[in-house]
Amino acid sequence: MPDTTPTPAPTPAPAHVRQGSSIGQPLTRRDGLLKVTGAARYAADNHPPGMLYAVLAVSSIARGRVASLDVPAAKAHPGVVEVMTPANAPPLAQDPDAKNNPFMFRLDLLQNDRVRYPNQPIAVVVAETLEAATEGALLLAPRYEAEPARTGLDSAESFVPPGVGVGNPPEAHRGDVAAGLAGAAIRIEATYETPAQYHNAMEPHAIVAAWDGDALQIDTPSQGMAMAQGRIAGLFGIAPETIHIRSPFLGGGFGSKGMISGPQVLGIMAARLVDRPVKLVLRREQMFGPVGHRAPTRQTLRMGTDRDGALTAIDHHAKTTSSTFDDFFEPAADASHTLYASPAIATSHEAVRLDTGTPLFMRAPGEASGSIALESAIDEMALACGMDPLAFRLKNYAEAEPISGKPFSSKALRQCYTQGAERFGWAQRPLAPRTMRDEAGLLVGWGMGTATFPALMFAAKARAVLRADGTGLMETGAHDMGQGAWTALAQIAADGLGLALDRIEFRSGSSDLPDAGIAGGSAHTATAGMALHGAGADVIAKLADLATSDERSPLFGAGNAGVIAREGRLHRRDDEGRSEGYADILARAGLAEIEGSGQGAADPVAQAAYAMHAHGAVFAEVKVDPDLGQVRVSRLVGAFAAGTIINPRLVQSQYYGGMIWGVSFALHEHAVIDQRSGRPMNPNLAEYHVPVNADVPSLEAILVEERDPHVNALGIKGVGEIGVTGTAGAIANAVWHATGVRVRRFPIALESLIGGGS
Ligand code: MOS
């Protein structure tokens, strides 16, 4: 039996540290002190003069109509100022059910008395105090005409969704899967189920809204301020520029704050109705409905290999759910598009409509639920071939993206496999399950999973100013969900201007700054970062023009391409001893400042030529109580390659966060839906389980070197979501290895393990 106790060793020194630049430095969060001292102002911390408190009343049925609300009782309660219902809600300029792009939620804004999911807002009570508003909401005592709730994957007729995720085709294939399966020497078929999950950011959705005529001031957590501005402008019939959103900090978002939600808009409507500033904060249980969730899936994987364990076919079919009134479909099967080099691959989706709030992207949408099934199936396939799971993956991972046939812009997956395996000690893993025990008699198992996430970019803008004193200002309206955007983007900004970090002012988190796009799809650093990089380059080019065309400058005649910017000076490339400080160049030109702008966007030419993804490999050790079935993850080692690492400390933290989500997916998270009422039965953090420190004893994340020359000029890929994708499958596979029981329903429950195995 191998020794399963890891040798305690310090985490290796962060790679990528470079001298003379901010990019690559393992800086702590610049806003860390503000956060740990409570000085960081989150949306709900704002209290403009005259502010009232709004509390939602939400439906306790899943489907039907609100027959009555006792508005007089609520209004008679001391401190209650107003009750907003469909009868008196301010008119909107746009139908909340209209949708003209996939980045729009259809919203419940009291447009009628229909109830289409549990916890749907049905009224808003506004009062002088939170207590009065809460009591007023209780006094509404709604009565309903309820209709039977449709719940579960089998409760309605299924259909092929028009698109999955944000507009991906619901079906895709390459090669002949039927022939690949028919001709296979070894085949497997298995069906996996994943539950509904809710984002559950620590900070609930909150808004403080204040109208001044047609001007609107909003404090609210947002992953996409410009998109929110546009949506609110449409709903209220006002110009986007008259809306100012401040969103300096988010207490987590995970996708649920990507698009402005109904409750946030209700806060704005309430403020309009009472003509005073209003604060509305969701209670935890109210987050289980109107602000999105990860839809459940049932996924069937069929695979075949030849006699040597080379894949001949992958067929990945996913069934999922959406609401009755909107169109988000979890793209679970798409996980099979990118990893394994089968000559034949088919993916397909079907969906049913349920009486549920609309699902939404939730951290690694599609990849998270899809990869737990795919990585479990790969493990089952390896076992059927009698092969070690790592050897099987090393044999079958793709050198070019299998579904599109495009080469990867870069790929360091082999290094992730080998570095992760070495660090973990995988070579000592016995092939057979249920062969390792620790000193306490617990079953020990080792499993692995492959991680991948696309390297996306959206569109962003940034503005840069170089001031007469040689300091700089960089602006972009980026969003810090806790991932460290304030820090990582400032590092890129400083390098863009060739200044030390303490010589620049970095402004972010407000909608009156240039649009930084959406903080989603693990694309924010690349997108907003490239905009900042471009803005810096624009300023430096103008500065270089001034210097190199001026006979009095030591840089005269060097040409733009002939200078580099570093530490507040321009240097001749061919003779670095010849240089001039920024302030001197500006002073001689008589300029108070130079301004520049930049844009970040995907390069369509590169995207047409290459498939762009980050990659990784995760290795898990679990310990399972043989009598009670209790599972603990005792060790996780992830190795990830995600291009240029802007800040290794923050990136490691993102990987840890993703890996903990993987633990959560495999073992904890499960929104339990009452099949009679359709209501979520555990809408709280006591019964909706997420891992705590005791659930995650040892984490390691290895930053594997990767230079991607095509993804963008800085070589940045995303790091926020990939950690979820390999980890959940690795844990499921480790549970099999510990127990000999293959659990295909997630989260893995005690009862699935008791009495199983031999
Ligand atoms: Mo993330 S689900 O792209 O916010």
Tell me: the pLDDT tens digits for 33-81? Answer: 999 999 999 999 999 999 999 999 999 999 999 999 999 999 999 999 9
Condensed to tens digits (0 to 9), the pLDDT of residues 275-285 reads 999 999 999 99
Q: Residue 527 Cα, ligand 1 centroid: separation in angstroms?
A: 14
Q: What pLDDT sits at residue 757? A: 43
Lowest mean per-residue pLDDT among 170-184, 202-216, 546-560, 712-726? 546-560
Which numbered atom of ligand 1 lies nearest the CA of 365? 2
Using the predicted structure, report yes or no on whether residue 17 has a pLDDT greater than 80.
no
> What share of the chain has pLDDT > 90, as a percent?
94
Which numbered atom of ligand 1 lies nearest the CA of 523? 3
Q: Residue 102 Cα, ligand 1 centroid: separation in angstroms?
A: 14
Q: Which residues contact 594 (CB under 8 A, 6 or more apart)?
A: 465, 466, 539, 542, 543, 546, 586
The HSE-up count of residue 12 (CA atoms within 13 Å, CB side) is 12
For the residues of 317-355, what is the DSSP string, one character each? EEEEEEESS------GGGGGGSSB--S-EEEEEEEEEES
* Radius of gyration over every alpha carbon of the chain, rounded to an integer in angstroms: 27
Contact 357, 289 (CB under 8 A): yes
Active site residue 721: yes
Q: What is the mean pLDDT of the chain?
A: 95
Label the pairing between strands 172-174 and 121-127.
Answer: unpaired
CA distances 153 to 353, 517, 580, 665, 742, Å, are 9, 35, 68, 19, 22
Q: What pLDDT sits at residue 755? A: 64
255 lines ligand 1 (CB under 6 A): yes
The closest of 113, 112, 124 to 56, measured between CA atoms, is 124
Using the predicted structure, report yes or no on whether residue 474 has a pLDDT greater than 90.
yes
Contact 521, 458 (CB under 8 A): yes
Residue 448's beta-bridge partner residues?
619
Q: Residue 363 Cα, ligand 1 centroid: separation in angstroms?
A: 5
Query: Which DSSP category does 117 fall into?
Result: S
The closest of 478, 525, 501, 727 to 642, measured between CA atoms, is 525
524 lines ligand 1 (CB under 6 A): no
Token pair of 248 as six digits: 């300096």
253 lines ligand 1 (CB under 6 A): yes
Using the predicted structure, report yes or no on whether residue 217 has a pLDDT greater than 60.
yes
Q: pLDDT-based confidence at 20, cuts 50/70/90?
A: low
Using the predicted structure, report yes or no on whether residue 132 has a pLDDT greater than 50.
yes
Which numbered atom of ligand 1 lies nearest the CA of 362? 2
Q: What pLDDT sits at residue 546? A: 95
Query: Which DSSP category does 61 fall into?
Result: S
- Out of 580, 621, 669, 721, the active site residue is 721
Q: What pLDDT sits at residue 576? A: 87
Using the predicted structure, report yes or no on whether residue 10 has a pLDDT greater than 50.
no
- Average pLDDT (646-664) is 97
The strand order across the sheet containing 443-454 reads 436-437, 443-454, 613-624, 631-641, 699-703
Q: What pLDDT sits at residue 102? A: 83
> What share of the chain has pLDDT > 70, as a percent?
97
Q: What pLDDT sits at residue 206? A: 98
- Average pLDDT (682-687) is 97
- Average pLDDT (324-334) is 97
Using the predicted structure, report yes or no on whether residue 198 has a pLDDT greater than 80.
yes
CA–CA separation, 146 vs 63, rounded Å? Answer: 6
Q: pLDDT-based confidence at 101, cuts 50/70/90?
A: confident
- Average pLDDT (96-106) is 91
Condensed to tens digits (0 to 9), the pLDDT of residues 267-277 reads 999 999 999 99
Q: What pLDDT sits at residue 311? A: 98
363 lines ligand 1 (CB under 6 A): yes
Helix (H) or strand (E) holding 751: helix 750-753
